[in-house]
Amino acid sequence: MVRFILRRLLQMVLAFFGTTLIVYALMFAGQGDPIQALAGERPVTDAQRAYLTEKFHLDRTGIDGFFYRYFDYIRNLLRGDLGESLTGRQIGDILAAAWPVTIKLALIAMTVTVLVGVTAGVLAGIRRASVFDNSTLLLTLVVLAVPTIVLAPIAQYLLGVRWQLFPPTAGADPDFYALLLPGIVLGSLSLATALRLTRTSVAENLRADYVRTARSKGLVKRRIVGIHVLRNSLIPVVTFLGVELGNLMGGAIITEGVFNIPGVGFNLFRAIRTEDGPLVVGIVSVLVVVYLIANLVVDVLYAVLDPRIRYE
Amino acid sequence: MRVRRLAAWTALPLAVTLGLVACGSGGGGSGGTDPNAAVRIEIAEPQHLVPTNTNETSGSQVLAALFSPLIGYDDASQAYEVAAESVTSEDNITWTIQLKDGYTFHNGEPVTADNYIDAWNYGAYAPNGQATSYFFEKIAGYEDLQGDTPAAQTLSGLEKVDDLTFTVTLSTPYSGFRTMLGYNAFYPLPKAAFSEPGVLDEGYEQAPIGQGPFQMKGTWQHDARVEVERYDAFPGEQPKVAGVEFRIYQQPAAAYADVLSDNLDVIKVIPTESLSTAPTDLGDRFQTSPGSSFQFLSFPTYQEEFSNPDVRTAISMAIDREEITTAIFKDSQTPARSFISPVVAGYRENTIGDAGTFDPAKAKALYQSAGGPSQIEISYNGDGGHKDWVDATCNQLRANLDVACVGNAEPKFSDLLTKVKAEQPVGLFRMGWSMDYPSMENYLGPLYSSTGSSNFYGYSNPEFDKLVAEGSAAASEEEAIAKYQQAEEVLAEDMPVIPLRYGQNVFGHSTKVTNVELDLFNRVDLLKIEAVQ
């Protein structure tokens, strides 16, 4: 087990540098005129252009320039310096301010997904073809069909502005209650998927041989479902949730924008819009680490859930 | 049974929530105003909060709270002294600026002439990379501060007379210099802002110290808010609120939702998608006021097919401006038929004459006799909500001129500019302009003079350049305006761009504030706004 984790950690280092290289190359290739992008439609002064060009080595172009800038970036990164954004803020500071709120949001979304999605999925799986099962299937179909970019503003307008049940935006240092609505909106998609996945998995396992054996042994239903079926049914769900955790952290661009939460997605959106290369690469690098760790945790959890799986 | 239990579980949190909301909306009487309350105003994350490095609205709005300008503008856009006692010149070259006594910075330092001289030198010095450095280019000695290793560190044209007086010598006469001083690049900086002479303290920007009606409350909370509170030792007109929270939004739609539910007090620009519902949503809290923005289509004059002014005039004539402002902008913008915004002294209606009169038959005849191209492309930036009106304009050109016309979206304005600067065939392209200070020169100079900073279309007419230069050098503002108006007539003949629309401030506020006014620069007037009790 320890050897397995060590090996995975070493692979993570490679994966990390590989992805930063690719992201850096993409940003480099797609870069137009970041100084003008920063200024929007206003003219840029010569002094400002010269200053920023020198500071960010923007005059180094072509293959040479790319490797020069990339290695410069990596050198600083290894020293723990993520660099400066085009507006002169430390990217480390930006990330330090953005992560806590994004993690909170992702955790709320995750909790909602697990609590509601998995519970309802188990219930629907046990009572297949019941009214509850059919109505959840229909509801999740609707949720899956509506993209977040539509769902978020509608939820904000109805629940926030019209009926005033929730604050319409969360702002910079929100309390739990303010984050609840964005969390539910963000989690709704994974909730629907988790629900359907759990339902199918439970329904299938209920027909398995070991369940029939357990039942003929005279075990009570609660124990059959609670211990045997649930444990076996959760393996695909845990895989899904692990990947989803990474998605929830990085994929909150729309939700964070609509509810004005200055998290990671919010900053990523701005960085892409202003062609702020260093900031995009900084955010994406950290996201890569989150994904890698989430995947590792999922792999380790397998062994806990399924005794047949052993890592060497 | 199960259903009932489920219903109970849903109903409970709902009931609690409703109870909380009911508590929240309780209280709040009507009538009087509360001088001890703070108001909340929407901004975007400022790029910088150093006066000489700020050229966007959000930063400028915050600085307007922290600083008091030398010059302000009245309702007729006429300049009057605020922090200055007088700004005078006999020859329009040497200007004497006399400061009002009694102004202090928020850290207690008295404001002296040195504070202005230091700040302006810092702004003009090229290695500091300040965004507004070109505002100082008219001052003598500016050239010596440019380049990688400038010959001098200070502007030779700035000279201190006594603590409250200094003189500014310009390199060429300029009658509009007094008007220009209202821009935020001309604010003073305290001694405390510099760690050593000419070097700005790194932390200054996080909590700028100014001499204005409000002082910082804490530091700049990036992406969250900037809070300011009333500065009681301010000698000028005191604000009617105790403080302002500038709350940072990335998307106007989020700010709009907050204004609707009284979580935010002022939104300075109503998002386009809410324009049709805003009058009903907000009632009389939906407001408009004059703004200085000017939207136009420019011709790449470097492209052969658009080099004939008759072609450009014909295209202008084939556009029905009223239809577009009504149908697409819901009258939040007004049709433009001059090159100058109506808010500026010297503006005259309809200076482009026939070219602005919608006449499809005449347009088509002129277009065909001038040999206009059979295909027209209109380029725009896809991130600014321009698709609708560009497509509508294309439809009009297609119907009225019998040409093929397509809109071409570039991702960002900078991408569009990159293509234009490389003289690639982008067809017509959209541009917008908002003034920095109310003067005809601020439209004519940057946009149409041969060396203009925003003249991307390669327009160059020596006669026009000469008239603008003569206007700037004129002895009085009246004479200057006369010259500028002649220059505008040259433009009307050449039609390097097609004037389309003038913008306005279209804003809204919550039920908790009153007397909300926006100035020509889309900034909330912080001395007028009041909180409702």
Residue with the bigger pLDDT between B280 and B272: it is: B280
- Total structural domains within chain A: 2
DSSP string of B390-402? Answer: HHHHHHHHHHHH-
SS3 call for B506: strand
In chain A, which residue's Cα lies nearest the Cα of B254? A258
Q: How far apart are CA A142 and CA A139, in angstroms?
A: 5
Examine the domain organization and report whether A59 and A96 are in the same domain.
Answer: no
Q: Of the residues A46, A62, A81, which one is the last residue of a structural domain?
A: A81
Query: Chain A: nearest CA to B370, how far in angstroms?
Result: 32
User: What average pLDDT does range B476-492 have in this prediction?
Assistant: 93
Residue B12 has pLDDT above 70, yes or no: no
**Could you report how far apart the first and last alpha carbons of chain A are, in Å?**
6
Close Cβ partners of B227 (under 8 Å, ≥ 6 residues apart): B38, B216, B217, B218, B221, B243, B244, B245, B246
Residue bearing tokens 């002649």: B486
Partners of residue A123 in chain B, C-beta under 8 Å? none
Contact A39 B131 (CB under 8 A): yes
Same structural domain, A149 and A56: no
| Same domain assignment for residues A53 and A186 | no
Give the relative orientation of helices A91-112 and A230-250 as an angle to the nearest 10 degrees: 150
Q: Tell if the CB–CB gap between A42 and B221 is shorter than 8 Å.
A: no
Say if residue B391's pLDDT is above 80. Answer: yes
Q: What pLDDT digit, counting tens, does each position of B177-213 carry?
A: 999 999 999 999 999 999 999 999 989 999 999 999 9
Q: Give the confidence band of A172 by pLDDT, cuts at 50, 70, 90.
A: confident
Q: Coil, strand, or helix at residue B321?
A: helix
Q: What does the block give as tokens for B218?
A: 């804490």
Short-list B165, B120, B162, CA closest to B141 = B120
Task: Please list every residue in chain B whose beta carbon sits closer than 8 Å to the beta carbon of residue A169.
Answer: 249, 254-255, 257-258, 263
How many contacts, defined by CB atoms under 8 Å, are there between A and B? 138
Interface test with B, best of A33, A35, A38, A41 (most B CBs within 10 A): A41
The nearest CA of chain A is from the CA of B208 a distance in Å of 16
Give the separation between CA A307 and CA A309, rounded to whole angstroms.
Answer: 5
Q: Using 50, 70 and 90 to split pLDDT, how confident is the model at A311?
A: low
Using a CB-CB distance cutoff of 8 angstroms, which residues of chain A are in contact with residue B247? 171
**How far does the CA of residue A56 sit from the closest CA of chain B (Å)?**
13
Q: What is the pLDDT of residue A129?
A: 87
pLDDT digits (tens, 9 = 90+) for B418-438: 888 888 888 999 999 999 999
Tell me, what's the pLDDT at A81? 86
Cβ within 8 Å, pair A169-B253: no
CA distance A47 to chain B (A): 5
Residue A118 lies in a domain: yes
Based on the domain organization, do A206 and A185 belong to the same domain? Answer: yes
Q: What six digits make up the tokens of A87?
A: 């507006």
Chain B partners within 8 Å of A37 (Cβ)? 412-414
What is the arithmetic mean of pLDDT over A252-266? 90
Q: Which of A52, A81, A110 is the last residue of a domain?
A: A81
Q: What is the pLDDT of residue B13?
A: 45
Using a CB–CB cutoff of 8 Å, tell me whether B218 touches chain A.
no
Bridge-based pairing of strands B266-267 and B497-509 is: antiparallel
A35: closest chain B residue by CA: B414
Mutate to test the interface with A, among B251, B416, B522 (most CBs of A within 10 A): B251
Partner-chain contact A33 B221, CB within 8 Å: no
B127-160 pLDDT, tens per residue?
999 999 989 999 999 999 998 899 999 999 999 9
Q: Residue A283 falls within a domain, yes or no?
A: yes
Mind telling me how many Å the CA of A41 is from chain B's nearest CA? 6
Q: Identify the band that residue A251 occupies on the pLDDT scale cut at 50, 70 and 90.
A: low
Instruction: Determine, yes or no, domain membership for A9.
Output: no
Which pLDDT does position A253 carry in this prediction? 86
Beta bridge partners of B503: B333
Residue A132 sits at φ, ψ, to 5 deg, of -60, -45
Listed residues A81, A110, A141: the one ending a domain? A81
Residues of chain A neighbouring B128 (CB-CB closer than 8 A): 47, 51
Q: Are residues A165 and A271 in the same domain?
A: yes
pLDDT over threshold 80, residue B7? no
DSSP-assigned letters across all residues of A212-274: HHHHHHT--HHHIIIIIIHHHHHHHHHHHHHHHHHHHHHS-HHHHHHTT--SHHHHHHHHHHT
Please judge whether B414 and A157 are an interchain contact, meaning their C-beta atoms are less than 8 angstroms apart. Answer: no
CB neighbour list of residue A63: distance below 8 Å, 6 or more residues apart: none
CATH code for position A228: 1.10.3720.10
Chain A residues inside the 8 Å CB shell of B47:
38, 87
CA distance, residue A127 to nearest chain B CA (Å): 13
Assess contact for B214 and B229: CB atoms under 8 A.
Answer: yes
pLDDT of residue B412: 86
Cα-atom radius of gyration of chain B, to the nearest Å?
26
Indicate whether A75 and A143 sit together in one domain.
no
Instruction: Say what the pLDDT of residue B20 is.
Output: 41
- Same domain? For A121 and A262 the reply is yes
* Residue A279 resides in a domain: yes
Please tell me the distance from the alpha carbon of residue A254 to that of residue B251, in angstroms, as a whole number: 10
Asked whether residue B507 carries a pLDDT value surpassing 80, the answer given is yes
Residues A65, A100 share a domain: no
Q: What are the pLDDT digits (tens) for A114-167?
A: 999 999 999 999 988 899 999 999 999 998 899 888 999 999 999 999 998 999
Q: Domain for residue A199, yes or no? A: yes
What are the tokens at A309?
């799986």
* pTM (predicted TM-score): 0.87
pLDDT at residue A45 greater than cutoff 80: yes
Instruction: Report the range of poorest mean pLDDT among A278-292, B82-96, B420-434.
Output: A278-292
Judgement on whether residues A108 and A250 belong to the same structural domain of the protein: yes
Q: Are strands B84-89 and B165-169 parallel, antiparallel or unpaired?
A: unpaired
In 3-state terms, what secondary structure has residue A84?
Answer: strand
> How far apart are the C-alpha atoms of B388 and B380, rounded to whole Å?
11
CA distance B512 to B508: 12
- Do A147 and A226 belong together in one domain? yes
| Alpha carbon distances (Å) from A284 to A21, A58, B205 | 11, 21, 28
The amino acid sitting at B380 is Y
Q: Chain A: nearest CA to B116, how far in angstroms?
A: 20
In a domain, A87, yes or no: no
| B149 and chain A in contact, CB less than 8 A | no
Contacts of B417 in chain A (CB under 8 A): 33, 36
Which residues in A lie closer than 8 A to residue B413 (C-beta atoms)? 36-37, 40-41
Minimum-distance CB partner of B223 among A164, A172, A258: A172
Complex ipTM value: 0.85
Predicted confidence at residue B6, as pLDDT, reads 43
Is A146 inside a domain boundary? yes
User: Is B224 close to A172, i.e. CB distance below 8 A?
Assistant: yes
Minimum-distance CB partner of A168 among B222, B251, B257: B257
Determine the structural domain holding residue A36 and report its residue range: 31-81
Same domain, A77 and A113: no
Closest of B413, B196, B85 to residue A33, by C-alpha: B413
Contacts of B152 (CB under 8 A, 6+ apart): B141, B144, B145
Q: CA of B127 to nearest chain A CA: how many angstroms apart?
A: 6
Separation of alpha carbons B102 and B113, rounded Å: 13
Q: How confident is the model at residue B31 (pLDDT cuts 50, 70, 90)?
A: low
Q: Report yes or no: B282 at the A interface, CB cutoff 8 Å.
A: no
Contact yes or no for A256/A265 (Cβ under 8 A): yes
Do both A239 and A299 map to the same domain? yes
Mean pLDDT across B384-405: 93
Q: What is the mean pLDDT of chain A?
A: 87
Domain presence at residue A163: yes
Residue type, B22: A
How many CA atoms lie less than 13 Å away from A147 in the CB half-sphere?
4
Distances (CA, A) of A142 to A78, A136, A145, A182, B63: 47, 10, 5, 18, 48
